[in-house]
Amino acid sequence: MGEWVYLNGEFVRKNEAKISVFDHGFLYGDGVFEGIRAYGGRVFRLQSHLQRLWESAKAIALKIPLSKEKLTEKVLESLRKNKLKDAYIRLVVSRGEGDLGLDPRKCPHPQIIIITDKISIYPEELYEKGLEIAVVSTRRNIPSTLNPRIKSLNYLNNILAKIEANLQGLPEAIMLNKDGYVAECTGDNIFIVEGEILVTPPIWVGALKGITRDVVIELAQKEGISVQERTFAPAALYASDECFLTGTAAEVIPVTKVDGRTIGNGIAGPITKRLIKKFRELTKKEGTLIYNN
């Protein structure tokens, strides 16, 4: 981890970065966050991440105490302070300190925290071999109760599904929505390939509007690959020719076995490999520069 953490207007050493036990982010998961990546001195899709952060904050009536421009600079400053060019950035906005009641009006000072770190979710060989994952019994939050589009600090829904994956010795879990359609994984969006068509669940089924998801759709369309956003059940997943996951941390990673069923030929398929290559090429040349020189 980077030695310095940005905490409410100043940089403090990581072992001194502390919040109040009365912070509603801690007490109730009342807050929002983003995970962002930097590659080779460039922060990838930073403005897209900030836009989603603002949308999440507005959805829970949380006012972010800095402008997007100021927050952009603080993210870049955090990376410079920690001398990082390749990094994972965790940007957190919590409701702030209040009392033991739920009322957010008792929390007048939202907190901004920026943590920078190195991250490697999966070993490189799995980007060829692929993941084995499973559909679990924990259903995705219903959008009318807690919309999955809000990237909030309350991740219990995802964690419960992750626990199910852990108990099966698997790295990731597929979550269905209340109607039994594939929604997303605990930390990633999901795609399948049917012939030459790329298919991913629409956001309204109960998925996060992933930044990497959107990038992959853009790349696929530029490559002349037909993309469809439509519902599908696990049976379509089992019968698919290819499957892969997308996320800021995982990037683009193939899935080669679901619920014990082999997907396609049991290795990363041609469309998946093509999109992995294109995604990695893009991250090397696009992004907000950390250093101007």
CATH code where residue 234 lies: 3.20.10.10
Which residues constitute the domain of residue 204? 126-283
Domain presence at residue 290: no
Token digits of residue 185:
């994984």
* Total domain count, the chain: 2
Using an 8 Å Cβ cutoff, are 149 and 60 in contact? no
Do 136 and 271 lie in one domain? The reply is yes
pLDDT at 225: 98
Residues near 204 by beta carbon (within 8 Å), at least 6 away in sequence: 143
Domain presence at residue 293: no
Instruction: Say whether 151 is catalytic.
Output: yes
Q: pTM for the full model?
A: 0.96
Do 85 and 220 lie in one domain? The reply is no
Do 167 and 94 lie in one domain? The reply is no
Do 88 and 169 lie in one domain? The reply is no
Residues of the chain with pLDDT under 50: none
Domain presence at residue 57: yes
Choose one of 62, 95, 117: the last residue of a domain: 117
Using an 8 Å Cβ cutoff, are 130 and 171 in contact? no
Do 132 and 266 lie in one domain? The reply is yes
pLDDT at 14: 95
Q: Which of 74, 151, 162, 278 is catalytic?
A: 151
Do 136 and 270 lie in one domain? The reply is yes
Using an 8 Å Cβ cutoff, are 113 and 6 in contact? yes
Strands 42-43 and 288-289, bridge-based pairing:
antiparallel
Do 133 and 233 lie in one domain? The reply is yes
pLDDT at 206: 95
Do 113 and 58 lie in one domain? The reply is yes
Do 138 and 107 lie in one domain? The reply is no
CA dist., res. 134 & res. 13, Å (int): 40
Choose one of 82, 117, 152: the last residue of a domain: 117
Check which CATH number belongs to the domain holding 81 and give it: 3.30.470.10
Do 190 and 232 lie in one domain? The reply is yes
Do 74 and 151 lie in one domain? The reply is no
